[in-house]
Amino acid sequence: MMMERIFNYSNILKTALDATYLRDKVISQNVANVDTPGYKKKSVAFEEQLQKALDSHKRSSQINLSTLKPQVIQPMNGMSYRMDQNNVDIDVETVEQTKNYLRYQALVDQVTYDMRRFKTVLNAR
């Protein structure tokens, strides 16, 4: 039971890291297409799904990881503010990229901390 909770928590962190990786790719694609007429920006939905899963379960070990998959979405599909129908704002993408980097660093720090704790427990034997 204890090991199941530990591994499920680690798998949630892995899935969150996967989401930051995917988000980085999507943001890079948006930036690369900033001057492409008709291009619509994309984003990644994950944190909302994770929050709902955490809110509906008392423990992380109860979360069904198969339902936690980062998804590429196209927000505001028909909206654009430019004449060429492109809706990528380079300033917004830069901020999103920075937020994503900070999120990634926080997750890596957490994984590193957890691995140190595991190592301490294993060395105590």
What are the tens digits of pLDDT across the range 103-119? 999 999 999 998 898 88
Q: Show me where the domains of the chain are located.
A: 2-123
Q: How far apart are CA 120 and CA 125, in angstroms?
A: 9
**Do the Cβ atoms of 35 and 86 come closer than 8 Å?**
yes
pLDDT exceeds 70 at position 44: yes
Q: Which residues contact residue 87 at a Cβ distance below 8 angstroms, ignoring those fewer than 6 apart?
A: 39, 40, 41, 76, 79, 80, 81
Give the pTM.
0.83
How confident is residue 25, by pLDDT bands cut at 50, 70 and 90?
A: very high
Mean pLDDT of 64-86: 82
Question: Which is more confident, 124 or 52?
Answer: 52
Q: 89 forms bridges with which residues in the sheet?
A: none
Residue 104: the pLDDT is 97
Please give the pLDDT value at position 11: 85
Residue 66 — pLDDT band, cuts 50, 70, 90? confident
